[in-house]
Structures are given as C-alpha cells and as structure tokens.
Amino acid sequence: MNVTTDNWMKVAAVADVPPLSGRVVRTKNGEIALFHAGDGNFYAIDNTCPHKGGPLSEGIVHDCRVTCPLHNWVLNLKTGEAQAPDEGKVATYQVKVEDGVVYLKLGGA
C-alpha cells in the first residue's frame, strides 16, 4: 500500500528492487519508474520514454542509465536526459531511503 506523508510516498522496500532493476510506481502524477542503479542509489523518472512512449521501468539498467525496451534510447537516471545523438528529457523525482524503505517525493522538488 502506498502511504503519503508530506509529499513523500512510500513506494517499495529496498529488498524488493534488486540492483540494476526497475519497477513502475503508479502515482497521482502518473506512472513513475523507480530504479536501483549501478551506483547503489535509487532514482525515479517518468515511466514514459520521450521517444515513442516506451515503458522505461522495463528497460535495462546499466550504471546510472536505462535503455528503453522499445528502440534502445539511453536515458540518464540522474538528469532524465536522453544520451546523444537522441534528444529528449523526462522528469526526475527525488528519492530517499530510510530504514530499508524507498520514498518518492511528489508535488515539486
């Protein structure tokens, strides 16, 4: 169950999102993709690829990037930007981890 406190939403247990994987989180802001990146940190970006709407949470995670499962655009999990030569950007969201639980901040940075 998702619990919202002060715009921080509990979205997953750390143990539920293995390293180099992602999962989709459904929020009032739409679908957000949560990733456990190669640097050990969690990142969250919009789930919809800026190319043709592919589900980024189902992409391949490598380092701090995800490769879209549809046409292999590569998006930076920290900035939300597509890797050149592709051009595009998705929104990024603040994430924090406390006591083994991952929280996502909604409603502005």
Give the separation between CA 45 and CA 51, rounded to whole angstroms.
14
Stretch that binds ligand FES, among 22-30, 36-44, 45-53, 95-103 (CB under 6 A): 45-53
Query: What is the Cβ-side half-sphere exposure of residue 88, based on CA atoms within 13 angstroms?
Result: 14
Q: How far apart are the first and last CA of the chain?
A: 23
Which member of 44, 49, 66, 102 binds ligand FES (CB under 6 A)?
Answer: 49
Residue 12 in the binding site for ligand FES (CB under 6 A): no
Residue 77 in the binding site for ligand FES (CB under 6 A): no
Nearer to ligand FES, 26 or 71 (CB): 71
